[in-house]
Amino acid sequence: MFKLGDWINRKRHNRGFGIQSPSAFFFITQVLKERHGYYAYEELDEIAGSLREMKKRNCRRLFRIANHFRPGNCITVASLTAACAISSARSSAKHLLITENREMPQAIAEYLAAHRCCHKSGSTLQLLEKHLAEESAKSLIFIGECENQSALLETAIKHSNKECIIIVEGIYKDKEHQSLWQQAVASPKATVTYDAYSFGIISFDSEKKKQNYKLKR
């Protein structure tokens, strides 16, 4: 259902209006909405087009987010496209792609290997839990659309710290996914969150005031 108030908030935040935090203003206007070209876009556009998991603009956006936050540990669950975008932005980071019994095209496997992204297949929930228990400092965690997305997000939030960023895909796919996102936003651990429609971004810096920014598609 169309809600005028929601549309107005999205439009205002999209242009940076009403945003008092300098870091949030910069992230929205200079990262999420940046229009400049990057060296990796051509390859990433080809990958997004061939895999058809997400739109090219979202693939580019993930690249910019990873490039901006500069995480040391990157974990991608259930999305080959996201793993390609994130690993190409942060070659110096540790990269892990977790999938559950999914075949990977040879070209994608070679691309990920070239960008030092390790791939593990099996129970995504168990693999994520194990990895975060061992290392969660300064992590960027991307959780793609999958059957156990709710449990994966719960696990990621449980292990989060002030240096973590979680990106969850498909937050408006249906009512269940919308409810999942609202629960994440309301989590006592979550502070600044960004509703980018195609996916949500959660940060956990306890020094920041709790705020949810809504952006246009």
Confidence at residue 6, expressed as pLDDT on a 0 to 100 scale: 52
Q: Report CA-CA distances (Å) from 155 to 34, 95, 152, 211.
A: 31, 18, 5, 22
Distance CA 36, CA 202 (A): 24
Q: Greatest CA separation found in the chain?
A: 47
Q: Which residues contact 28 (CB under 8 A, 6 or more apart)?
A: 13, 14, 16, 19, 194, 213, 215
Confidence at residue 137, expressed as pLDDT on a 0 to 100 scale: 84
Confidence at residue 156, expressed as pLDDT on a 0 to 100 scale: 97
- Please give the helix or strand (H or E) that residue 58 lies within, else none: helix 56-69
Confidence at residue 7, expressed as pLDDT on a 0 to 100 scale: 41
Confidence at residue 217, expressed as pLDDT on a 0 to 100 scale: 67
Ranges of residues in the chain whose predicted pLDDT is under 50: 1-2, 4-5, 7-8, 10-17
CB 197 within 8 A of CB 189: no
Confidence at residue 85, expressed as pLDDT on a 0 to 100 scale: 98
Confidence at residue 91, expressed as pLDDT on a 0 to 100 scale: 87
**Tokens coding 112:** 């990920």
Confidence at residue 204, expressed as pLDDT on a 0 to 100 scale: 97
State pTM to two decimals: 0.91
Pick 36-159's CATH classification: 3.40.50.150, 1.10.287.70, 1.10.260.40, 3.20.20.70: 3.40.50.150
Confidence at residue 208, expressed as pLDDT on a 0 to 100 scale: 93
**Tokens coding 145:** 């659309």
